[in-house]
Amino acid sequence: MAAEKDEIKLIGGWASPFVMRPRVALNMKGVVYEMTQETVGKKSDLLLKSNPVYKKIPVLIHNGKPICESMIIVEYIDETWSDGASILPPDPYDRSIARFWTAYVDDKIPDLIRKLRLLVKGSAEAEVEAEKLNAALQLLEEAFEKCSKGKSFFGGDDIGYLDIAFGSQLGWIKAVEKIVEIKFLDKEKIPGLVAWSERFCAHEAVREVMPEADRLVEFTKMLLSGSFAK
């Protein structure tokens, strides 16, 4: 268990789904931390010093020691503040399944979101990438049915490892719905995931750190226009 006077700093950015992951985990554990926002197009000296290999956010700094990569940070938080709600499943098989589907999420979802947010609505390219995202969401619908075992979240009665991994992408999924004008979170096609997404976004550990879709759309426009400082 961590000491009460530990110094905890998170290097990140409000729009990053990967930064959102440790923020949700820290909120679940009731850990007070300092958030340091990186400037788009720049990398602070603190980031470069803390993550010299990948030079990417997020980085958690715990008593001067940096931990990198979003889901590694989530596992670190779960193990360090072990008195709070468990994030990783206690059963080894359930842990392996959660890690498998987390790897699937990271392999498929962010790349599709990045492609879709750059495409023009109604274009053939947008339709192709939209089909790929819909197929990925359909597989995750099936995974939710199996992993949740009839409960509210992938992790059971409360948010768990896979919920954090996939749930962090919801803001951007809603944003690309607006950008390409295609509905992805469709109750008719993936009712389980849509209900889960509503519960996830309403969770007390998530509400304050989930970015609004409209703000992400504006962020994308500024990014594409080069409005951010270089």
Helix (H) or strand (E) holding 10: strand 8-12
Give the pLDDT of residue 228.
63
- What number of CA atoms fall less than 13 Å from residue 5's CA on the CB side? 0
What confidence tens digit (pLDDT) does each residue in 104-142 have?
A: 999 999 999 999 999 988 899 999 999 999 999 999 999
Question: Mean pLDDT across the stretch 160-166?
Answer: 98
CATH class of 92-220: mainly alpha
pTM, 2 dp: 0.95
What per-residue confidence (pLDDT) applies to 95? 96
Over residues 77-93, the mean pLDDT reads 93
Q: What is the pLDDT confidence band of residue 230, given thresholds at 50, 70 and 90?
A: very low
d(CA 15, CA 74) in angstroms, rounded, equals 18
Mean pLDDT across 88-94: 96
What is the mean pLDDT of the segment spanning 139-151? 97
Does residue 7 register a pLDDT over 80?
A: yes
Q: 84-93, 105-114, 152-161, 178-187: lowest mean pLDDT where?
A: 84-93
Residues 6+ apart with CB under 8 A from 94: 147
Q: Is the confidence at residue 201, as pLDDT, over 70?
A: yes
Q: What is the mean pLDDT of residues 36-59?
A: 96
Cis peptide before 89 (omega within 30 of 0): no
**Per-chain mean pLDDT for the chain:** 95
Residue ranges matching CATH 1.20.1050.10 in the chain: 92-220
The domain 8-80 belongs to what CATH superfamily?
Glutaredoxin (3.40.30.10)
Q: Where in the chain is the domain with CATH 3.40.30.10?
A: 8-80
Query: d(Cα 206, Cα 135) in Å, to the nearest integer?
Result: 26
Pick the residue with more confidence: 198 or 2? 198
Give dist(CA 152, CA 157) in Å, integer: 6
